[in-house]
């Protein structure tokens, strides 16, 4: 019963906080309204999200968040430098195949999003069975190094979080 | 508002302006669509981020309350930017790139744009 009422407790909690943030004022009425949204929206969207991902180490999520935020800032500067200072014919774009050890759909989604937001890489598509991810790299001299960095820096952390 | 706060706001506004400009210039300079995709997904995050930081500092200095709206905009931006980029990349690949142009997927199936997923996998 409780599982049908609140299929995704974390999503419900997030919705409450997002609602309180949107109205930008903490009152009892807003809290109740946020709670109502937190129950109704996950119920309506439950058919599209049947799995229940388990986050085993919440502290690792924070660490991952900070690593990614830092990398986004670095990525911005690197890409800006490439755009501004590299001659067009010197920019060497590559396709990079990253074999995945992650299996859950949520973990792969987070990884794909992270890859897109970080240094010079955009995730393009997955293998049909989810066994590897295709990444487009704006400029690199060492394809293997980029692949290894994605694997050790992001995938390893996500594995600890989701498995 | 004292000088130090104004300086902080000015710095973040200038930084955001520079990155926004570079991102737009990247759209013009880079030569194919996949390369152009890199410019707006990266350079603009810091571009918009800078404006949001400036806005937060300004309203905190003015009213004394921390505004959460800017944080929410950041979160929404970080969630939606990769998805848009992925849509654009996939559409471009489906229309312009043949399977033989891509490296092998090193998995049991080919890339999902060209290949069907295996039957046994639930939910796909």
Q: Is it the case that residue B121 has pLDDT exceeding 60?
A: no
Distances (CA, A) of A109 to A87, A112, A158: 34, 5, 11
Q: Is it the case that residue A132 has pLDDT exceeding 50?
A: yes
C-alpha to C-alpha distance for B80 and B122, rounded to whole angstroms: 27
In chain A, what percentage of residues exceed pLDDT 70? 96
Closest CA in chain B for residue A93: B35
Give the pLDDT mean for B31-47. 77
C-alpha to C-alpha distance for A125 and A146, rounded to whole angstroms: 17
Strand, helix or coil for residue B87:
helix
Residues of A in contact with B102 (CB under 8 A): 95, 134
pTM for the full predicted model: 0.81
Q: Is it the case that residue B120 has pLDDT exceeding 60?
A: no
The ipTM is 0.77
Give the pLDDT mean for A24-44. 84
| pLDDT recorded at residue B124 | 44
| pLDDT recorded at residue B14 | 92
| pLDDT recorded at residue A5 | 67
In chain A, what percentage of residues exceed pLDDT 90? 0
Give the pLDDT mean for A139-159. 83
C-alpha to C-alpha distance for B43 and A13, rounded to whole angstroms: 32
Q: Is it the case that residue A52 has pLDDT exceeding 80?
A: no
Q: Is it the case that residue B43 has pLDDT exceeding 70?
A: no
How far the first Cα of chain B sits from its last, in Å, is 56
Distances (CA, A) of B82 to A30, A34, B95: 31, 27, 20
Closest CA in chain A for residue B110: A127
How far the first Cα of chain A sits from its last, in Å, is 26
A55 against B21, higher pLDDT: B21
* Mutation site, B38, B67, B95, B115, interface A, largest A CB count within 10 A: B38
Give the pLDDT mean for A100-111. 84
Cβ of B82: how many Cβ atoms within 10 Å?
Answer: 21
Q: Is the CB of residue A123 less than 8 Å away from at least one CB of chain B?
A: yes
Closest CA in chain A for residue B31: A88
What band does B10 get if pLDDT is binned at 50, 70 and 90? very high
- Please state, rounded to an integer, the average pLDDT across all residues of chain A: 82
In chain B, what percentage of residues exceed pLDDT 90? 6
Does A72 sit within 8 Å of B30, measured CB to CB?
A: no
Give the pLDDT mean for B20-39. 82
The alpha carbon of residue B76 and the mean position of all alpha carbons in its chain are separated, in whole angstroms, by 11
Give the pLDDT mean for A78-97. 82
A154 against A9, higher pLDDT: A154
B60-117: pLDDT as tens digits: 888 887 778 888 888 888 888 888 888 888 888 888 888 777 777 777 777 777 777 7
Q: Which residues of B36-68 are buried (b: 16+ CB within 10 A; e: fewer)?
A: bbbbbbbbbbbbbbbbbbbbbbbeeeeeeeebb
């Amino acid at each position: 019963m409780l599982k049908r009422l609140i299929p995704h407790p974390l999503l419900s909690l997030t919705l409450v906080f997002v609602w309180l943030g949107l109205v930008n004022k903490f009152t009892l009425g807003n809290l109740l309204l946020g709670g109502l949204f937190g129950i109704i929206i996950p119920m309506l969207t439950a058919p599209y999200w049947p799995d229940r991902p388990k986050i085993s180490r919440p502290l690792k999520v924070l660490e991952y968040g900070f690593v990614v935020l830092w990398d986004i800032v670095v990525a911005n500067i690197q890409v800006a430098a490439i755009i501004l200072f590299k001659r067009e014919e010197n920019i060497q774009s590559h396709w990079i195949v990253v074999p995945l050890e992650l299996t859950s759909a949520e973990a792969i989604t987070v990884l794909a999003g992270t890859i897109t937001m970080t240094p010079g890489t955009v995730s393009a598509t997955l293998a049909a069975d989810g066994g590897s991810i295709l990444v487009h790299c704006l400029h690199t001299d060492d394809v293997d190094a980029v692949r290894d960095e994605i694997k050790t820096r992001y995938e390893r952390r996500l594995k600890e979080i989701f498995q | 508002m004292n000088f130090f706060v104004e300086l902080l706001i000015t710095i973040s506004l200038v930084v955001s302006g520079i990155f926004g400009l570079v991102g737009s210039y990247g759209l013009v300079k880079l030569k194919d669509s996949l390369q152009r995709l890199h410019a707006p997904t990266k350079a603009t995050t810091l571009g918009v981020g800078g404006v949001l930081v400036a806005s937060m500092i300004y309203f905190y200095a003015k009213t004394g309350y921390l505004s959460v709206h800017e944080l929410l905009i950041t979160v929404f931006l970080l969630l939606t930017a990769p998805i848009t980029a992925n849509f654009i990349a996939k559409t471009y690949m489906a229309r312009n790139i043949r399977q033989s142009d891509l490296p092998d997927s090193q998995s049991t199936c080919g890339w999902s744009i060209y290949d069907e997923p295996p039957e046994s996998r639930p939910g796909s």
